Amino acid sequence: MASDVSYPLTVFYDASCPACAAQIEPLKKCNTHGRLELVDCSAPGFHEGLLAAEGLTHSMLMKRIRVRDARGRWLLGIGAVEAAYRALW
């Protein structure tokens, strides 16, 4: 699936998780072409209702990194991270 991902990607992650934050930091620094929109699900202003229609809860978003591509397709876990890093090249 990673080869047919459509950019830009929206990356949903938990910045309160040290491992997640460490994964996202290089993406923030290298996202010079704007192919990633990084959304911190742990931020006070995050509104989970926006994704309720997709069957996602805040709890689900906090457990695993998830990426939605430009066509609305979802990737999670390592597939999501791989697609996000591919966006940088």
Place of tokens 């991902």: 5
Q: Domains plus CATH for the chain?
A: 2-86 (3.40.30)
Q: What is the pLDDT, as a whole number, of residue 1?
A: 47
Q: What is the pLDDT, as a whole number, of residue 59?
A: 86
Strand 9-13 vs strand 74-76: parallel, antiparallel, or unpaired?
unpaired
Model confidence at 74: pLDDT above 80: yes
Please report which residue ranges of 1-89 form alpha helices under DSSP H. Answer: 18-30, 58-63, 78-86
Taking a C-beta distance cutoff of 8 angstroms, is the pair 66, 38 a contact? no
Nearest to 65 by CA among 33, 40, 28, 35: 40
CA distance 44 to 29: 23
Which carries the bigger pLDDT value, residue 4 or residue 75? 75
